[in-house]
Structure 1
Amino acid sequence: AINWQSCALHFRLWDLSPSNMAGGMRKRQSEHPLEETIAPSFGSGRIIGEGKVSLISPQRVLETGQRQLLLLPPGEKVKPGIQTVIKVGSKGQKLHGVYVSREGNINHMRWLSKLESYRLQSIRLHKPSFHSPNKLVELSKNLRAGIGTDTYPILQITLPEFKYPVVAMHAVKDSKSPILPKILPIGHPERLFVLHDPGMDKPNPVEIKFQKLAKKLGQASLIQIKPNVRERQALRRIIEEPYHLREVKSHDKELLWKFRYRLTTMKNTITRFLRCVDFSDADEKEEALKMMKIWEKEKTVSTEDALELLSEDFKNEDVRKFAVKQLDKENNTEIEKYLMLLVQALQYEHGYPSPLSEFICKRSAQKLTMATAVNWYLTVEAAEAPKMYSAVLREFRNTHLTATEEGKKWKKDIENQMQMVDDIRSLCRMVTTKGGKQSRRVENLRAALQEDGKFAELTKFKSPVRFPLDPSVLLSGIVPEKSTVFASNAFPVLLAFQRHNSEEIVRVIYKDGDDLRQDQLIMQLVKLMDSRLKKQGLDLQLISFQVQGWSAKDGVVEFVPGCNTVASVIDESKEIGKFLQEHNHKPKLMENALNNWVKSSAGYSVLTYILAIGDRHLDNILLTKDGHMLHIDFGYIFGRDPKPFPPKVKFTKDMMDAMGGPEFEEQFYEKSCISYNLLRRDACLILNLIALTGDWAGNKKDNLAVVGSRLALERNDDDAAKDYKLLIYKVMHSNFEALKDGIHTIATNLKK
C-alpha cells in the first residue's frame, strides 16, 4: 500500500552543458508503466538544485494551484521552520527581473525581439523597480549571500485544479491493484523517464495575442500605407504561390492584413486576405466583411476566387454567400463548366437549404443540359450522403423544375431517362455476371436483346428517350447487332442506339464496377485546360468526350467514332506512321494528320503528366484516322497506379517515329513546353478545382501535393521546360517501358 503522506513531486535541476555531461542517452528497462522509455544518463553531470512539493495536504486533500519552489544544492539545508515552498495566491505573484538570453537554435521572432529590447531598456532605466518583494526570493538571496553569487533558482509550478476536492485514502491491505506499479525510491536512477509535451506543436498564445493587438492598432493609417521593396516582393510571392502548397506563416498574415487596402485593387488577393482572418473574433470578422465589399466594388474578385471560397477551408457563412453572389454574375455556359464541382462543394455547406444549393437548382432549371447533368450529379451523391443531397435533389425536381411548363416537360423526360438507365443496368450486369470469354459475352448480350429475349423492349422504346450524355438527341432503342463487349478487365459493354427519325447510330460504353466520377473530373479538367490554352492562342486539336456516372459504381462513357487503340494499330499496321498513311493518301491530308498527331500528342502528354494519370498503356490511348490522339479510362488519378514503377508520362518511341522527321519532332517538343508553362500559370485554378472534390478522389492533401509537384512552381519557365523535355526523352527510350507494353499486349490477347 502507498502512504499518502509520502506522495510528492521531486524536482532536480541538472546542468546539461557539454562540459558537465557524460554518457549521453541510453536505453533502460523500467518497471514503470511507461516502459522502454529513454532516460538521460547524467554520469558526472552537475546537479544545480533540487526540491520537493507535497501532493497531499495535511487535511488529506490533493494540492492544487500555483507553487514556488526553491531549489537547493544537494546536501544544503535550511533552518527549521523556514519554508522552501510557497503557495501563490489566485492573482499570482510574478517573479520580476528574469531575463533569458536566446542562444542556440531557438527560432528568431521579430516581435519577441522588440519586446526583449524594450524589457532590457526598462531594466536599465528602472532597475530597482524590478526587484520582487517575494519572500522566497529574499530567502534565496540570504542563503547565497555568504558565497557572493546570485540567488538560488526558483521553480514556478502549476498543479491541476478539479471541480471537486480530491481526498486521499489508504489502500486496502493486501490489495493487488494492476493499476499501481512498484514505486521506485526517489533516488533510484530508473525513476527518471521522458514525457512528450503535447503543447509543443500548438500555436504560441502570446504570439497570437500580439497579432490580434497589432491588427487593432492604426486602422485608419493603413488605407494610404505603401509597402517597401522587400514587402512588395514578399506580397508578390504570397499572391502568386498557391496556398495548397505551403502553410501561410504568421509574418505572411501580418503583411496581408497590413496592406489589405492596397490588395483590393489586385486580382487573386481576396482569398489570401480572408485566410489570415480569425472569424471567431468579432472585430476581425466585421473588418473582413467590410473589406469584402471594397473588393466587390473594385471588381477584382474572379470566378477562380469564388471557387476557392467554396472549399472546405472557408466555413464562414457570409464568405460562402459572398462567393455564390460572385458566381451569379457568370452566364450559364461558364457555370456549366464547373457544375459538377459546385455540386461537390455542397458537402462543405453548413446545412440545407443554403445559398449554394439554391443557386445550383435555380441555374440548372434554366437549361436542359444543365438540368440533366445536375440530376445525375445529385443522384450519385445522394446514394453516398443521402440526407443533404437527397434534400437538394427533391427540391430541384419538385420545386425548381416544376416552376415552368418547360421544366415540367424536362422532369418527365428525366424520369423516362432514369427508367431506361435501370433497364440497361440490369441487361449489362446480366451479361457480365454470366462469365466466359469476350466472344461468349457478346453472344449473351445480343441474345438478350432478341425478340424472344429478356430485354427485347430495349430495342424499341415506347416513346423516344433523351440521350443522357446529350439531351438534345432522342433515342429510339438499342441495335443488338452493333452492340458488343470489350476484352478489357471489367468487360465494358458497347451499346449502339438508333437515333430517333435518323439513320445515325449513337454509341456509349457502359462500365460496371467503376466510379466514373474520376473520369468526369478528369474530362472536365481537360476541357477547361484546353479552353484556357485556346484563349492564349494555342490550339492543340484535343478531342474530349462525355462521361456520366449513374451511381458510384457504374455509368457510361461516350464512344468516339473512328478510333483505334494504339495497341491495335501497332498490331495490325506495325507502325503508327504507316496507319496514318493508309488513311490519308493525299499529301494535304497526310500533312494535316501529322499536324493533328503532333499537337494532340503534345497536349495529352502534358495534361496526363500534370494530373498524374495512372494505368497508362497502349489500350488506353486512342488514335483517329485523321491523326488525333486521346486518352481514355481514368480509374487511377493523382499519382495512383495499379502497376509498380509507373512512368510519369506515357510516350513511346513509336509515337515519336510517327511524326515523320526532325521538323515535326521539334514542333512536338515546342508545343509540349509552351503548353506546360501556360498551364503552370493556371496552377491556382487547377488546384482550386481539385480541392473541391470529395473523398471518392482520394486523399485531398496528397492529391494537391502530387499535382503541385508536377506543376513545379518553384522552377522558372526555361528550367521547367528543360525538365519536361528530358523526362519525355528518358521515358521514350526506356527498354523497361517497352517490355511492360509487350507483356500487357500478350495478356490482353489471352482474354479474347
Structure 2
Amino acid sequence: MPDYGRMDPFSFAGSKDVDHPVSVRIMNLEGDEPPVKYSTLLDRPDLRHIGSNTGPFSDLYVTVQVWAGSKPFTVPVQTAYKPFRSERKWNEWLELPITYKQLPVNAHLAITMWDLSPTGGKRALDHAIPFGGTTLPLFDADNQVQKGRQKCLVHRHKHADGTDNSKTPALVAAKRKANARNSDVTPQDKDAEELDRMEKLFKKHEMGEIPRVDWLDQMVFRSFEKRGLQAAKSSMKMLQRQRAVNGDRGNEADDDDEGSIDDGRPSPSIFLLNVELPRFDFPVVFADHEYEPPPISALQSLSASQGNLSQRQPQVHFGPGINALGESSDGFGARLIKVYDPEVGLRDNPAEAKHRRLFRSSHRHGILDKDLKPNAKVRDELNMIMSYSPTHVLSPEETDLVWKFRYHLTRDKRALTKFVKSVNWGDQSESKQAIQVLGRWTEIDIDDALELLGPSFDNPAVRSYAVDRLRKADDQELLLYLLQLVQGLKYEHISVDSEHDGTQDSSLAKFLIQRAAANFMLGNYLYWYLMVECDDHSPEQGLDNRNIYRKVAYEFMTELVKQPGGSEDRKTLLRQAELIAILSKISGEVKVSNESIAKKVERVKNFFADAKNELVTIDPPLPMPLDPSIKITGVAPDQVTVFKSSLNPIKCTFKTTTGSSYSIIFKLGDDLRQDQLVIQIITLMDQLLQKENLDLKLSPYKILATSTTAGASQFVQSQSLSSIVGKFKANPALAYLRHHNPDDRQPLGVRPETLDTYVKSCAGYCVITYILGVGDRHLDNLLLAPDGHFFHADFGFILGRDPKPFAPVMKLSKEMVECMGGVNSEHYQMFKQYCFLAYTALRKSSNLILNLFSLMVHANIPDIRLEPDKAVMKVRERFHLELTEEEAIVYFGNVIEGTLTAFAPVVIDKLHEWAQALRA
C-alpha cells in the first residue's frame, strides 16, 4: 500500500487497496427457548410441523447477503445442508461475490437463519420460514473493517433487515428510562461480568494483541471451561439482554406490521449467532476509490464539427406530472434524478442530425453547388469564420454555411480546416464526397497541416492530406516541428503486431521514418524523442502508446540500415546512448554520495580521466546528441564542475573537431521535457520573427531530454543578474556590460552594438515569456552574457503557473530598465517599440503556435498535464486575438507599465535573495 506507510508510527491500509473477497465464517448458534405449550400446539396446527418446534437442535440453514444504502449489493450466499446432533454448529466459511475495495462505508452483512415448515407461513419462501435474522455492519464506528469473531443478537422470526435503519441490529445497547434511578437498575451477576471480561481478553489474545505463553494459556483455558460458559450465559446477563430486546420490540410493534410471531411460549427467546470475519495484519480503514471522469478522447471519436457537444450537458425536458411547475428536481422528494453521462453528452442531437442530413442532401449532388457564389453578406460571414482560431468551435449554422459554399472556398487555403470541421465523418456518403473536395483545394499552410494531425481529426484521408503538405517542407523547417510530430503519432492507427509493418497504416510514421533515415540531423532528434517516449512508464502514457513508439523506433532502425552509410549512422546512435549511460552512471554516484563539492568534483575528474571509460579520447569523433553538427573528440577532465543544487548537475566540456570546446550541463533526476518544449517554441518564434526581418538577438540554447529523468543542456557563458548585483552595486547590469565592453565615447560607456543586443534580447524574451506564461522568474534565472545577450533559464513553471503569490505576468525588473538608461531614455523607448513589433508579429502566427501546443496536450508535460483541456486556451488568452493590432499594442504597453510600477515583484525578488542567502 504505497500511500499509507508514510504516517509513522501508525500502520494501516485503505479498504480501496484490499483486493480480497468478503467472507464470513458461520460458526454456531447459542441460546435456547422454552418449548411451545402442548395446548398451543393443539389450537395452532400451523406450528406443529415447524422444525424448531419439534426439537431443540432441528436443521437450519443460513443465508448471507451484503447490503448498502438500503439496497442489496450481492446475491445471497447459503450454507450447505448439515444435520445437527447436540448443537447447531455449521463452522463453514462463506465467500461473497464482492471484494473489500468495492465496499461502501455503510455496507452490512444481512444474515438470516431459515427454518422449515411444510405449511409455510408469514414471510415464508416456499417451505422456508425465517428462524431469525441479524445485521452486522462491516465497518465499525471508527470506519475500520470489522475482523475476528463477532457475537450477533438474533431477532427471532424476522428476516435480516439490511437497510440503513436496520430493525435487526446485531448489537443492541440496553435502554434506560430517562427518569430511572440507579437503585432501580438490576445489578449484573458477578459471574456474568467475569465471563464478559474474559471473553474480551480471549478475543485480544486471539487477535495477537496479548502475547502467547503456551503453558500458561492452557491453564487459563481449563479454568475457564470449569466455570461453565453455557450456564453463565443463561444467567442474569441473558436476562438483561432480553430486557433490551423486549424494549426494542415494544417500539418496533408500532411501526412493524408484521411484528413477532406469537407462538404461545411462556417467555421470549434469546439466541446469539457466532460468526468470524477475516483478520488482517494491520487495521483496514475505509478509503473510497476516486474514479476519474472519463476522458473525452477515450470515447468514440467524433468529427471536429461535433466538438461543441462535449462542452454542454444534455438538457432534460420534463413531461406532464414529472417535476412539473412547482416541483423542483433538486429537492429530496424529487421523482426524477438527472445524471450526466459523458457518452450521451457527446452524441449528436437527433433533431439537428436530421436537419443536417436534409440540408446537406440538397447540397450534395447538385451540379449548381460547384458554381454557387456567396453574396456580400454571406461573404462577410465566411470571412469571419475563416478568421477563427484553431480552438474555436463552429456552430451548426456555420458548419452548414461552410458546407454549402465548399466549392467556392477551395480557393481559400484558410478554409480547409474549417471545412474538415464541418463534415460529419460518420456519414459515409458525406465523408466520401468531402474527400473528393479535398483534392481540389489550394495548397494550405504548414500550420493548418499541423492542425489536421491533432487529436480532433481521426479520418486517415485527412491525416494523409496533411502529411502530403509536410512533404513539401525542407528538413530545417521540419526540424522545428519534429517534437510535435512525434506526439502526433499517438493519434495514428499504428499496428504493434511484430509481423505487421505498422507504418503502412500511418502516413505520418512512414513520412517521419523516411525523412529521418535520409538526414542524420533529423534522425538524431527523432531517435531521442522516441527513446524518451519509450521510457515513459507513467499512467498518462499507457502501454499502448509505449508499444507504438517502440514499433516506430524499430522500423526507423530497420529503414536506417537500408540507406547508404545507414549502418554507420545506427552505430553512431548506439554510441551516443553509451555516452549518455556513462554520464548517467557518474551523475547517479555523485548525487547519492555525501561528500563535499570539492570531493565530488575530484571524483568526476578521476572518472573522466580513467581510460577504461573511453571519454578522454573519443575515436571516431561522435556527433553531440544535443547538436549533431558538433562532433566531439573527447572530454576535458580538468574543466569539470559540479553544481551545489540538490541534484548536483555536472558541467563537462568536450573538445570538438574544429579545435573549439563545447560545454554541457548533464542533470539526472529531473524531467527536462518541459524545458525542451519551451526552448523549441523560443527557437520557432525566433525563426518567425526573423522572417519578419526582426532579429531580436535571442539565445535559444540547446536542450535534450534523454529520458524521463535525465537530460543535457548547452552551457552558455553568462552570469545571473543575482550574481551581477552582488558584484556591482550601482546600476549592476550596466556596470557588468561596461566592464566587458567599455567605450568612453558613448553616453552610457558601453559599445553601441552591445547595448543594442541587450535591448533587443530583453524585448524578445519579455514578449515570449509573457505569451508562454513563464513563471517563477527571479534574478537567479535571468542571465546576461558578456556580449550583451540577455536570456532566461529554468522553465519549471509555464502557462501562468507560479509558486509565488501576486507574481507579475511579465518579468521586467528595475535592474533591466536601469541598464537601458531608465524609463526616460531613448533605449527604453526602443525597447518598447521592439516589444510591440514582436508581439504583433507573433500574433500573426498564433495559429501555428496554438496548433503546436494542441499536439503537446498528451505529451506528459507537467504544467500541461495539470489541465490539458485548458492548456491551449491559456496560450490563446495571452495573444488577445479579439483585439485589433492597435488595441493589442495599447494593451501590451499597459502590461509593461503595470509590471514596472508593481510592488509585488520587488518584494518577491528580495525574499528570494534572502532565501538564497540562508541556504548558502
Pick the TM interval, shorter chain.
0.7 to 0.9
Determine the structure 1 residue equivalent to 2:849. 686
Determine the structure 1 residue equivalent to 2:885. 717
Whichever residue aligns with residue 819 of structure 2, its letter is A
Cα deviation, residue 560, structure 1: 1.6
Select which of 404, 415, 422 maps to 2:581: 422
Secondary structure at the aligned position of 1:476 is classed as strand
Select which of 608, 626, 629 maps to 2:790: 629
Determine the structure 2 residue equivalent to 1:238. 385
* Contact 2:651/2:663, CA 8 A, preserved across alignment: yes
Secondary structure at the aligned position of 1:459 is classed as coil
Secondary structure at the aligned position of 1:592 is classed as helix
Select which of 522, 534, 547 maps to 1:382: 534
Secondary structure at the aligned position of 1:337 is classed as helix
Structure 1 pair 494–746 and aligned structure 2 pair: CA distance change class (3 A): farther
Secondary structure at the aligned position of 1:555 is classed as strand
Select which of 466, 484, 490 maps to 1:347: 490
Select which of 518, 543, 554 maps to 1:366: 518
Select which of 396, 405, 412 maps to 1:259: 405
Give a deviation string over 1:455-502, Cα, whole Å, max 9, x none: 7543333543221122233223222221112234533221111224x5
1:175-574, aligned counterparts within 5 Å?
175-176=159-160, 178=162, 192-196=334-338, 198=340, 203-219=348-364, 220=366, 221-244=368-391, 246-295=392-441, 298-299=442-443, 301-351=444-494, 352-353=502-503, 354-384=506-536, 385-397=545-557, 399-435=558-594, 438-439=597-598, 441-451=600-610, 457-461=614-618, 463-500=620-657, 503-561=659-717, 563-574=718-729
* Contact 2:634/2:655, CA 8 A, preserved across alignment: yes
* Contact 1:487/1:748, CA 8 A, preserved across alignment: no
Structure 1 pair 488–197 and aligned structure 2 pair: CA distance change class (3 A): closer
Cα deviation, residue 192, structure 1: 4.2
Counting aligned pairs with the same residue, the percent is 32
Cα deviation, residue 380, structure 1: 0.8
Whichever residue aligns with residue 719 of structure 2, its letter is N
* Contact 1:653/1:733, CA 8 A, preserved across alignment: no
Whichever residue aligns with residue 507 of structure 1, its letter is S
Secondary structure at the aligned position of 1:714 is classed as coil
Secondary structure at the aligned position of 1:329 is classed as coil
1:707 equivalenced with 2:866 (yes/no): no
Give a deviation string over 1:46-76, Cα, whole Å, max 9, x none: xxxxxxxxxxxxxxxxxxxxxxxxxxxxxxx
Distance 2:644 2:519 in 1: 38
Whichever residue aligns with residue 407 of structure 1, its letter is G
Distance 2:596 2:810 in 1: 32
Structure 1 pair 671–462 and aligned structure 2 pair: CA distance change class (3 A): closer
Determine the structure 2 residue equivalent to 1:646. 807
In structure 1, runs of 5+ residues without a counterpart are: 1-30, 35-169
* Contact 2:590/2:648, CA 8 A, preserved across alignment: no
Cα deviation, residue 620, structure 1: 1.4
Determine the structure 1 residue equivalent to 2:916. 748
Structure 1 pair 532–180 and aligned structure 2 pair: CA distance change class (3 A): same
Distance 1:483 1:402 in 2: 36
Secondary structure at the aligned position of 1:472 is classed as coil
Select which of 733, 739, 743 maps to 1:582: 739
In structure 2, runs of 5+ residues without a counterpart are: 1-67, 72-122, 130-157, 167-254, 257-320, 322-326, 495-501, 537-544
Select which of 827, 830, 835 maps to 1:672: 835
Cα deviation, residue 191, structure 1: 5.2
Cα deviation, residue 203, structure 1: 4.0
Whichever residue aligns with residue 211 of structure 1, its letter is R
Distance 2:483 2:763 in 1: 27
Whichever residue aligns with residue 479 of structure 1, its letter is A
Secondary structure at the aligned position of 1:266 is classed as coil
Give a deviation string over 1:661-699, Cα, whole Å, max 9, x none: 521111111111121121112111100001111331223
Determine the structure 1 residue equivalent to 2:860. 696
Structure 1 pair 583–223 and aligned structure 2 pair: CA distance change class (3 A): same
* Contact 1:514/1:635, CA 8 A, preserved across alignment: no
Q: Root-mean-square deviation (CA), in Å? A: 2.8
Distance 2:774 2:605 in 1: 34
Distance 1:218 1:394 in 2: 47
Distance 2:646 2:124 in 1: 68
Whichever residue aligns with residue 476 of structure 1, its letter is T
Structure 1 pair 177–632 and aligned structure 2 pair: CA distance change class (3 A): same
Distance 1:310 1:597 in 2: 39
Provide the aligned length of Structure 1 versus Structure 2: 576
Name which of structure 1's ranges 544-553 and 511-520 shifts more when overlaid on structure 2: 511-520
Whichever residue aligns with residue 448 of structure 2, its letter is D
Name which of structure 1's ranges 490-499 and 742-751 shifts more when overlaid on structure 2: 742-751
Distance 1:742 1:709 in 2: 30
Secondary structure at the aligned position of 2:791 is classed as strand
Secondary structure at the aligned position of 2:440 is classed as helix
* Contact 1:321/1:355, CA 8 A, preserved across alignment: yes
Distance 2:859 2:518 in 1: 30
Distance 1:190 1:681 in 2: 54
TM-score normalised by length of structure 1? 0.72
Cα deviation, residue 747, structure 1: 3.0
Distance 2:517 2:792 in 1: 33
* Contact 1:378/1:390, CA 8 A, preserved across alignment: yes
* Contact 1:487/1:751, CA 8 A, preserved across alignment: no
Give a deviation string over 1:523-543, Cα, whole Å, max 9, x none: 221111111111112111112
Give a deviation string over 1:526-582, Cα, whole Å, max 9, x none: 111111111112111112211111101111011123x11121112112311111111
Structure 1 pair 259–581 and aligned structure 2 pair: CA distance change class (3 A): same
Distance 1:226 1:648 in 2: 46
Distance 1:33 1:252 in 2: 51
Name which of structure 1's ranges 324-333 and 600-609 shifts more when overlaid on structure 2: 324-333
Whichever residue aligns with residue 528 of structure 2, its letter is W
Cα deviation, residue 443, structure 1: 3.9
TM-score normalised by length of structure 2? 0.59
Select the structure of larger CA radius of gyration. Answer: 2
* Contact 2:390/2:850, CA 8 A, preserved across alignment: no
* Contact 1:469/1:546, CA 8 A, preserved across alignment: yes
